[in-house]
Structure 1
Amino acid sequence: MAVFKKLWWFFKREKKSYIVGILMLVLVALLELVPPQIIGRFIDRITASTLEVSTLLTYGGILLVVAILAYVFRFFWRVMIFGAANRLGKLLRQQLFKKYSEMSSSFFGRKRTGDLMAHATNDINAVQMTAGQGILTIADSIIMGGAVLITMALTVSPKLTIIAMIPLPFMVILTSYYGHLLSRLFKIAQAAFSSLNDKSQESVTGIKVTKTFGYEKEDLKDFEKLSAEVVDKNLKVAKVDALFDPTITAIIACSYFLSIFFGARMVLASEISLGQLITFTTYLGMMIWPLLALGWFFNLTERGRASYDRIEDIMSIKNDIDINYQVEEIETGDIEFNIQSFTFPGSNEVSLKDIHFELKKGQTLGIVGYTGSGKTALIRLLLREYDLRSDNVIKLNGVDIKDLKIENLREKFGYVPQDNFLFSTTIRNNIAFTDPSIDINKIHKAAELSYIHEDIMNFKDGYETVVGERGVSLSGGQKQRIAIARALIQKPEILILDDSLSAVDGETEAAILNNLNQERKGKTNIITAHRMSAVRQADLILVMEDGEIKERGDHNFLMNNNGWYSKTYRAQSLKESLSEALDESLKEGDDQ
């Protein structure tokens, strides 16, 4: 019953639906008490040879009316109770999705995708069943069972009713034990399902890598192992679940035996008539559903409790990002970084230290350095994927970004991450993600700026080409350029390309950067890269190493400084020159 206490907020919210639904159940229960009475009186009239045609027609008419009314009332209780349960499922899904959308990156680092999906599917379905079938079964058990017991005692025999109910306490004890055991096993089964869900998602997403390394057989074995564990855990649940019906059936059989044995003796002793005994056994047959429903109720509530506990655990996790704000909206301006030190949550290693610089509005910032040097960390802090301590600050137009409404802050950015995520829809819809109704000419313009328009037009279906999961049907360079077009179509005040040109060749990179310089005059750009040519035209270039700024300045200043930037730039330029010379040589050889 604990899950009903936790869901009481919803029952109060939907009290009208549940009250009307339960009232309909009461009416159905009362109507179902009529046929056994009719049957008993019919038998007694036959036994007494007093049955007439008019009486038979009257009984038939009563049964017809009862059947029609029961049909109508059953329809309405289903609409009311199951309708409310479906609204609970909708509400929980919305709350979970809102929770997921508000949480910081560290949350998704700790939680597996498959597990989060399981909460939004299996767990919510189990809670929804509790609020629907669970309410039905307990209400029907109490209403129908109580009405039948009272009618048996008042219209037939209180003594025979007590005798028939002797086995029931054993059923209550056993089903309660099964319920607690089921709750524990169901939690384990749900966890196993989450692991399988996560494995399925990873395998489908990483299918290219799996095939490239020839790891299909091993991946299949891993999947089969997890699948077998899910089957094993669910079989244990099923074994306990399977005990409910046989136990209840055995209890009912005992009640039947006692009723017929002692009822027959009472008929012989003229304490009750034969018709009354038949009415009594008919009522006892009507007790089968309430008792089975009671067992089903324990099953549903324990499943619902296990699932609601899992949902509550997710909902209780606090966001690492403080979403409270003091300023709702500001104009885009200069960006200032003043960070003494920053450590990612759960890590003991300092990721950034002594980061101090200012980027004027309309300038381009280039950030370069080895992998793990802190380039992306700067971007993630600017986007408030993580929050800084009070002694650290990032300002936009003189205002601490922690004081800004987070939605309005992020609306100012057009962000192209290292991992370019594309949805399983058309290229057009991927580019127009932020505004699906945008004019096709603007989509073409964004694609031209990102140097992907010609590639798209060469596809059979052009902009209506459907890309696979995460853009699996496209090359790395094509995915990057589509992602850039998606960011450009927003016309953001601040554009961030986080190593987003790594998969394109030097010529394409130069064309894209040239387009950006012409199209985005007066707007701020931030580019992180491993290739120095990507940041050559930047107003300010930062060279990152071990979370610190080792060099800063524009391209000419850094080249004259003869530091890491200068050496790396010359090495990369030499490599590109040799590669071009080799390609030219091979081309001439082919021509000859």
Structure 2
Amino acid sequence: MGIFKKLGWFFKQQKKRYIAGILFLLLVDLAGVVPPRVIGILADLMNERRLTTRLLFMWVGLLLIAAIFQYLSRYGWRNMIWGGAATLERELRTNLFSHFLKMDETFFQRHRTGDLMAHATNDLNAIQNVAGSGILTFADSILTGGTTIIAMIVFVDWRLTLVALIPMPLLAISARILGSRLHQAYGESQAAFSRLNDKTQESISGIKVIKTFGQAKEDIDDFEGIVDRTIDINRKVYRIDSLFGPVTSMIIGLTYAVTIMYGGWLVTTHMITLGQLISFVSYIGTLVWPMFAIGRLFNVIERGNASYDRVYQLLDEKSLIKERSHATEHLVAGDISYHVAAFTYPDDEEVSLQNIDFDLPAGGTLGIVGRVGAGKTTIIKLLLRQFDNYEGEIKIGGKNIKDYTLEGLLSSIGYVPQDNFLFSTSIRNNIRFAAMDKTQDEVESAARQSAIHDDILNFSRQYDTLVGEKGVSLSGGQKQRLAISRALITLPEILILDDALSAVDAKTEAAILTSLKEDRSRKTTIISSHRLSGVMNADQILVVDDGRVVERGTHDELLALNGWYAEMWRRQQLAAQLGVGGAEDGAK
């Protein structure tokens, strides 16, 4: 019953609702003791040949009143208890989703998407069932059993009641033994479901790659293997769960056998009437539900308990990014002063950045170049406060970025990564995602700045065109330019393009950079690029290698150094003259 204790905070919060629901259950059970008693009285009246039409209608009328009373009371408990379960579900879903949005990048590196989805669906449903069918089963089994046993004592015979209840301890013993095994089995079952969810999500997301490399059969075989293992684990759950029914049926059978033998003797010795025995047998029929409910209750409780532990393990995790109590929410603007002595990714031993120092005046443009894995994106991640565990200090406007709230910092930055994400909605809504109040003119202005406006006009529905999940209907270059439009429409003080032009051709890249230079002359821009033509007009260019700045200066100054930058410039210029190495924006 530990899950009820764990959910104690919620039951205290909703105590009026659940007290009302349990009272309605009690009224249902009190009305439920009437029919067996009435049937017994009618049986005695018929046996004694004293049943008249008036008495028949009177007792049948009482049955009808009891039925109507039960109907109204059932509506009451359903409204209260199921309403409470829905409230818990809403609160848990909101808390978990909000928690996901607050967590840092490290959290999502540790937990796969499919696993998080399993927590947000299957596990929350199991917890909700505790507050719904779990409370119902627990309370109703006690109330039904209690009122029925009292009715058996009051209306029939206390000796027969005690004898009939002799097999009951067997039910408690079996429930305890099977319940502990169920808890472990359900934990394994929920974990297996998460693995299956992971595989499904991964395969659907990578369907193009799977088909392109002809790995469909192998992926199906892998999926079937996970399904088979999941089924094997669930079979164990079902085997344990299925034992509750036979055990309960055996105990009920023993109860009926004891009742008929001892009750029959009491009738023959005239200690009770035949009608009372009939009522008693009917009451035993009423006790069948509480007996079976114990099996169902342990099913719900153990599944909910295992799911609760899994969900709250996530909720107990804390983001490594912590806002300071005095943090300001004002929009961020001003010079950027970036001084990081060292940074190492969590759970990684190798230093990723060392001695990264630069100052960028407000309105200036910084270019960051280097080979793949050199540390360009890591520099940007620290500026975006995706990690705070670095030695050094980063300031904007003379103020440490840790002294801004995350919302205040990020609302001032327009960030466009190379691997951008588009939502399954219209092009218009994707562009104005961060500012849904923007007008059509403002949407089109942002699209023109990123050189995507003409492409959109060629679509059949233009700005109402649905881009499909993750922008599947668009080319790589179109997705990148849409993402740039989305960043520009918020008029950010700082624009960061993290290799965000890698999928567009050189001509389009030049058009976009020219537009940005004209429209953002007083605002700061940071461009990370593998294509040097993207940063050649920057006020300052950093060449990064192995997490260090190995060269810095303007385009002309770096060419004069005749180092890595100059060598890469000559190679890329030669490639451009030969017509190779350029991105094809129209390829889908």
TM-score, normalised by the number of residues in structure 1 = 0.96
1:418 offset after TM fit, Å?
1.7
Amino acid in the other structure paired with 1:245: G
Partner of 1:63: 63
Structure 1 range deviating more: 424-433 or 80-89: 424-433
Superposed CA deviations along residues 404-429 of structure 1, whole A, max 9, x for unmatched, are 11111111111111211111222222
Tell me the distance in 2 between the aligned counterparts of 1:329 and 1:31.
61
Report if aligned partners of 2:338, 2:359 keep a CA contact under 8 Å in 1.
yes
Provide the residue aligned with 1:364 in structure 2. Answer: 365
Aligned equivalents of 1:84 and 1:346: distance in 2? Answer: 42
Give, in angstroms, the shift of residue 471 of structure 1. 1.4
Within-5 A mapping of 1:70-85: 70-85=70-85
Q: Which residue of 2 aligns with 1:553?
A: 553
Displacement of 1:447 after TM fit? 1.2
- Deviating more after overlay: 326-335 vs 304-313: 326-335
**Residue 220 of structure 1 pairs with residue 220 of structure 2:** yes
- Matched with 1:316 is 316
CA distance in 2, matches of 1:322, 1:93: 23
**Aligned-residue identity in percent:** 50
Quote the Cα distance in structure 1 between the aligned partners of 2:26 and 2:418: 62
> CA deviation digits over 1:262-320, x for unaligned, max 9?
11111111111000000000000000111111221111111111000001111111211
Give 3-state SS (helix, strand or coil) of 2:537's partner. Answer: coil
Aligned to 1:388: 389
Partner of 2:488: 488
Q: In the alignment, what sits opposite 1:262?
A: 262
Query: What SS is found at the alignment partner of 1:195?
Result: helix
Partner residue in 2 for 1:210: 210
Give the equivalent residue in structure 2 for 1:573.
Answer: 573
What is the letter of the counterpart of residue 193 of structure 1? F
After superposition, residues 469-548 of structure 1 pair within 5 angstroms as 469-548=469-548
Counterpart contact for 1:558–1:565, Cα < 8 Å? yes
Question: Per-residue deviation at 1:125?
Answer: 0.5
Q: How does 1:39-118 map to 2 (within 5 A)?
A: 39-118=39-118
For the 8 Å contact 1:167–1:254, the answer to whether it is kept is yes
Measured after TM superposition, the shift of residue 556 of structure 1 is 1.4
Residues in 2 aligned to 1:484 and 1:508: alpha-carbon distance in whole angstroms: 13
Q: Post-superposition shift, 1:204?
A: 1.1
* Cα shift at 1:580: 7.7
CA contact (8 A) 1:205 1:470 kept: no
Q: Give the structure 2 partner of residue 127 of structure 1.
A: 127
Q: Distance in 2 between matches of 1:446 and 1:424?
A: 20
Aligned to 2:341: 340
1:24-35 to 2 correspondences below 5 Å:
24-35=24-35
Structure 1 residue aligned with 2:586: none
Letter of the 2:553 partner, please give it.
Answer: G
Aligned pair 1:460/2:460, yes or no? yes
| Partner residue in 2 for 1:415 | 415
Residue type of the alignment partner of 1:46: M
Match of 2:164 in 1: 164
CA contact 1:325–1:404 (8 Å) conserved in 2:
no
| Whole-angstrom CA distance in 2 between matches of 1:329 and 1:142 | 54
Q: Which amino acid counterpart does residue 356 of structure 1 have in structure 2?
A: D
Q: How does 1:276-315 map to 2 (within 5 A)?
A: 276-315=276-315
One-letter amino acid of the structure 1 residue matched with residue 263 of structure 2: G
Change (3 A) 1:46 1:371: same
After superposition, give the CA deviation of every residue in 1:321-353 in whole Å (9 maximum; x if it has no partner).
Answer: 112342313440111111111100010000000
Shifted more, 259-268 versus 224-233: the winner is 224-233
Deviates more, 1:189-198 or 1:327-336: 327-336
Change in CA separation of 1:135 and 1:263 when aligned onto 2, cut-off 3 Å: same
Residues matched between the structures, number: 581
Q: State the one-letter code of the partner of 1:191.
A: A
Which stretch shows the higher mean deviation, 217-226 or 282-291? Answer: 217-226
1:90-110 deviations in whole A, cap 9, x for unaligned? 101111111111111011001
Deviation at 1:362, TM superposition (A): 0.5
Aligned partners of 2:204, 2:516: CA distance in 1, in Å? 35
8 Å CA contact retained: 1:325, 1:402: no
Q: Tell me, in whole angstroms, the C-alpha distance in 2 between the residues paired with 1:499 and 1:4.
A: 52
Could you tell me which amino acid in structure 2 is paired with residue 366 of structure 1?
G
Secondary structure of 1:537's aligned partner = coil
CA offset digits 1:206-260 (Å, max 9, x no partner)? 1111111111111111111111222221121112111112211111111011101
Which whole-Å deviations, capped at 9, do the CAs of 1:386-419 have from their partners, x for residues lacking one? 0034x41111111111121111111111111121
Give the residue type in structure 1 aligned to 2:480.
Answer: Q
Task: Answer with 101-110 or 220-229: which moved more.
Answer: 220-229
Q: Tell me, in whole angstroms, the C-alpha distance in 2 between the residues paired with 1:512 and 1:249.
A: 76
**What aligned pairs does 1:128-207 form with structure 2 within 5 A after superposition?**
128-207=128-207
Asked whether the equivalents of residues 421 and 471 of structure 1 are also in contact (C-alpha less than 8 Å), the reply is yes
Query: SS at the partner of 1:287?
Result: helix
CA distance in 2, matches of 1:95, 1:576: 52
Q: Contact 2:363–2:524 at 8 Å: present in 1 too?
A: yes
Indicate conservation of the 8 Å contact 1:494/1:525, yes or no.
Answer: yes
AA at the equivalent of 1:348: E
- Structure 1 unaligned segments of length 5 or more: list them: 583-592
RMSD: 1.3
Aligned to 1:275: 275
- Note if contact 1:496-1:527 (Cα within 8 Å) is conserved in structure 2: yes
Q: CA deviation at 1:581?
A: 13
Shift of 1:492: 0.8
Q: Any conservation in 2 of the 1:487–1:495 contact (CA below 8 Å)?
A: yes
Confirm or deny: 8 A CA contact 2:329 2:407 kept in the other structure: no
Greater CA drift, 165-174 or 321-330: 321-330
1:579 Cα shift? Answer: 1.2
SS at match of 1:392: strand
**Alpha-carbon separation, structure 1, partners of 2:172 and 2:378:** 59
What residue in structure 1 maps to residue 248 of structure 2? 248
User: Match of 1:544, SS?
Assistant: strand
- Could you list the per-position Cα deviations for residues 511-530 of structure 1 after superposition, in whole angstroms to 9, with x for gaps in the alignment? 11111111111001111000
2:379 maps to 1:378: yes
Task: Flag the 1:581–1:219 CA change in 2: closer, same or farther, 3 A.
Answer: closer
Matched position secondary structure for 2:385: coil
8 Å Cα contact 1:205-1:469 kept in structure 2: no
Identify the range of structure 1 (300-309 vs 244-253) with the bigger mean alpha-carbon deviation.
Answer: 244-253
For 1:195 and 1:57, the matched residues in 2 are separated by: 62
Rounded Cα–Cα distance in structure 2 between residues aligned with 1:205 and 1:378: 28
Query: Is the Cα–Cα contact under 8 Å of residues 85 and 128 in structure 1 kept in the other structure?
Result: yes
Instruction: Judge which range, 452-461 or 132-141, deviates more.
Output: 452-461
State the TM-score, normalizing by the size of structure 2: 0.97
Segments of 5+ residues of structure 2 without an aligned counterpart are 583-588
